[in-house]
Amino acid sequence: MALVENNALEGRFAIVTGASRGIGRAIAIGLAAHGCGVMLAARDEAAMEDVRGEIEAAGGRACTTVCDMGDEASVVALVADTLKAFGRLDVLVNNAGFGIYGPMESSNTTEWDAVMAVNARGPYILCREAVPHLRKQSLAHIVNIGSVVSVKGYAEQAIYTASKHALQGMTKALAREVQSDGIRVHALCPGGVDTELVSKARPDLDRSVLMHPEEIADIVLFLVTRRGNAIIDEISVRRASSMPWA
Report CA dihedral (221, 224, 229, 233) to the nearest 10 degrees.
Answer: 80
What's the farthest any 2 CA atoms get from each other in the chain? 54
* Residue whose CB is less far from ligand NAP, 60 or 97: 97
Among 193, 221, 223, 224, binds ligand NAP (CB under 6 A): 193
Pick from 147, 157, 171, 225 the residue near ligand NAP by CB under 6 A: 147
Taking residues 212 to 241 in sequence order and writing x for each that binds ligand NAP by CB under 6 A, - otherwise, the string is ------------------------------
End-to-end distance of the chain based on CA atoms, in angstroms?
35
30 binds ligand NAP (CB under 6 A): no
Q: Which stretch binds ligand NAP (CB under 6 A): 7-15, 17-25, 85-93, 130-138?
A: 17-25
- For position 55 contacting ligand NAP by CB under 6 A, the verdict is no
Residues 6+ apart with CB under 8 A from 231: 175, 179, 184
Q: Which of 101, 124, 154, 160 is catalytic?
A: 160
Burial per residue of 134-162, b for 16 or more beta-carbon CB atoms within 10 angstroms, e otherwise: beebeebbbbbbbbbbbbbeeeebbbbbb
Within 10 angstroms of residue 11's Cβ, the number of other Cβ atoms is: 10
Among 6-14, 53-61, 175-183, 187-195, the segment contacting ligand NAP (CB under 6 A): 187-195
Q: Contact at 8 Å (CB) between 146 and 162?
A: no
Residues belonging to the active site = 160
| Binding footprint of ligand NAP on the chain (CB under 6 A) | 17-18, 20-24, 42-44, 47, 67-70, 95-98, 118, 145, 147, 190, 192-193, 195-198
